[in-house]
Structure 1
Amino acid sequence: MTRVVAVGKAEGTLLLRNAMMLLTALFLPVGAILVLQSSPELRDVVGAGSGAAVITAVTVVTLDLFVYYQLVTALVARREELVLKRLRTGELSDWEILVGAASPSIVIAWAQIVLSAAAAAVWFTLDAPVNLLLVLVAVLLGTLVFVLLATASTALAPTVEVAQVVTAPVMFVVLTLSGLYLPLNGPMEYVGRALPLSPVVDLLRLGLSGTTRDGGTVGLAGSFAHAVPAVLVLLGWVIVGAWATRRWFRWEPRR
């Protein structure tokens, strides 16, 4: 654990030098509040109260931006600088290197979620969650999925510049089809259900307000039953991401 923390501190120091990423991290909760204050229709699409809408929106965006995008670019940069190769020749195991490298992105993402919850409680209506466990499952499983997808996606990007291009379509598609901002109908609904952000939205809706995918309302017991499909989809993505990482992740540049 000490070695993981050391890698995380080193990566965090480099992340602190990224002014644009830090500004985005600072203003994301504020931006979500302003958008939701000005758009009652968007709050209705989220399917929960105003406070729950803030938490849901910030959680989804942070997983997409701070966990997936930031980690892909960071890992590609460290690989091209031969940092990963040097770390691997020491006493660190592969998983310690990856967990340490991912930890700053995860900390930033989780901090944004906590700040959004605090802001939601102050400026919006935020009732007690129907099922707090489902909220935690959404955050934890969602984080794990996007960490694994990020590590696997590095195989598609030989440079940081290419990584920015490769990640953009993925980020846009999964966010658009998450069901958060736009209602999904027809074939797009089935595609969205199979993508990794849609089940996170479903679990957050169930956990925060007991709102089901079809707009119904359930209590604590009912929320568990409705959560099963979303949890299974996320577990499926964990398996896919872990397999893809093991199969294609590279520790040094191709020569």
Structure 2
Amino acid sequence: MRTDALHAVRLAKIDLTLIFRNTTVLFTVLLMPLLMAWLFTQTQGGATIEGVSAKLFVLTGMPGLMMGFAVFVNLVNSLTARREELVLKRLRGGQPSAAAVLAGSALGALALFFGQVVLLGIWIQRTEGATPVNVPLMLLAAVLGVTVFGLLAAACSGLTPNAEMAQITVLPILLLLMIGSPVAFPTNALPGLLGTISGLLPITPIVKIMRSAFLGSDHYSGSGRALSVLEQWTGALPSFGILVVWIAVTALLAGWLFRWEPRHG
């Protein structure tokens, strides 16, 4: 177990080194979400949403989209490229276990996501004067979110024939996450079936938990009232339940679709 953990950390360090050496990947997974956050805030004006300024509402929901880029897009690209270059096959046949190989990629993505959230937190503090209220709750949401999107990325990489097609493979899911998640609008803004679908997307509970934990107010139901620390945790339970279900679903998909060797035909 300890050996696998060390291998996972080593592989995560290699992943991060490769990302910071690749300007295109660095822009796509690290800077693109921050640019999108800036663009979103320019359209909000002086409105308020759920008891906070619209800009602060959008910025505290951005970790959801960051999860889509830093974890999902990043891992689909890297896992597909490594599979086609036979890197995954060599790693699996070597000393690290299969779990350590995948955990290393997930740890690298988690570190990248944490870096983005730290930059976002500094931005929010400098422009809006707000600081995170419940960091442990945010950390737990981040770990569960990375697990969901890491497993989803493993499944999607199995459907992707080569690294060049990875951008096309991730596009439908990425667009669904961008349009259906409550980053720039309240959770009850979508009517009927659309609202139900939005609430069940894996990104929605992440946005709700991150926003509520950062601001210390109720953005689970949308009332915006101040919550005690205990209420922040209990209010997050339905969102945690959705994430746990998604972990089970994506684990099954990853086990079924993920490939260690290049696709043929």
Question: TM-score, structure 2 length as denominator?
Answer: 0.85
Match of 1:156 among 140, 144, 159: 159
**Helix, strand or coil: the match of 1:151?**
helix
1:218 Cα deviation after fit: 4.4
2:197 matched to 1:188?
Answer: no
Alignment of 1:64-213 (within 5 A): 64-126=68-130, 129=133, 131-182=134-185, 183-209=189-215, 210-213=217-220
Match of 2:243 among 227, 234, 237: 234
Structure 2 unaligned spans of 5+: none
Aligned counterparts of 1:246 and 1:46: Cα–Cα separation in 2: 40
Q: Provide the residue aligned with 1:39 in structure 2.
A: 44
Aligned counterparts of 1:188 and 1:232: Cα–Cα separation in 2: 20
More displaced, 229-238 or 93-102? 93-102
Aligned counterparts of 2:178 and 2:199: Cα–Cα separation in 1: 12
Contact kept, 8 Å, 2:76 with 2:154, in 1: the verdict is yes
Contact kept, 8 Å, 1:156 with 1:163, in 2: the verdict is no
Question: TM-score, structure 1 length as denominator?
Answer: 0.88
Q: How many residues are aligned here?
A: 252
More displaced, 188-197 or 9-18? 9-18
2:15 matched to 1:15?
Answer: no
Aligned counterparts of 1:44 and 1:197: Cα–Cα separation in 2: 22
* CA distance 1:154–1:34, change in 2 (3 Å): closer
Aligned counterparts of 1:239 and 1:167: Cα–Cα separation in 2: 20
* CA distance 1:228–1:102, change in 2 (3 Å): closer
Identity rate of aligned residues, in percent? 30
Q: Provide the residue aligned with 1:219 in structure 2.
A: 227
Aligned counterparts of 2:251 and 2:65: Cα–Cα separation in 1: 22
Match of 1:245 among 238, 250, 254: 254
Deviation sequence 1:75-100 (CA, Å, 0-9, x none): 00000000000011111101111122
Deviation sequence 1:175-224 (CA, Å, 0-9, x none): 21112224322111100111100111111232123123442124223333
Q: Which amino acid aligns with 2:222?
A: G
